[in-house]
Amino acid sequence: MPVVHEIYDEAIRLKDSGNLEGAVAKLHEVLAIDAAHADTHSALAVFNQRLGKFDDAIQHALKVVELLPEDPFSFTQLSVIYMRCGKIPEAEEAKARAHFMGHGH
């Protein structure tokens, strides 16, 4: 789907120019086309965290874990988002999952 990738790339350009709100809006356009676009959920987790929208950030990070349950990085990102949102026990749990998965257990 080239349209999804074009919209995603436009969102990244908006973020790079300092327009996080615009980037978030553009990423929601991607999700309207492909609700399972993991890169978009990942970016939304980070951008929403930077905007102080912690609940939204966590929800998108959780969606990445749901979409990519075998990817240790998805749990690493979830851990970082939880930590930056002040949810330390949840961050530690996600970090442990990432560590466990990354070592092939």
DSSP H or E run through 11: helix 2-16
pLDDT at 1: 52
pLDDT at 56: 97
Q: What is the mean pLDDT of each run of 10 residues along the chain (105 residues)?
A: 88 98 98 97 97 97 96 95 95 92 69
Domain count within the chain: 1
pLDDT at 101: 85
pLDDT at 102: 76
- Domain of 7? 2-102
With beta carbons less than 8 A apart as the criterion, state whether 52 and 37 touch.
no
Three-class SS state of 85: coil
- Give CA angle at 50 (49, 52), nearest 5°: 65
Helices 20-33, 2-16: crossing angle, 10 deg rounding: 170
pTM of the shown model:
0.91
We report the CATH number of the domain holding residue 72 as: 1.25.40.10
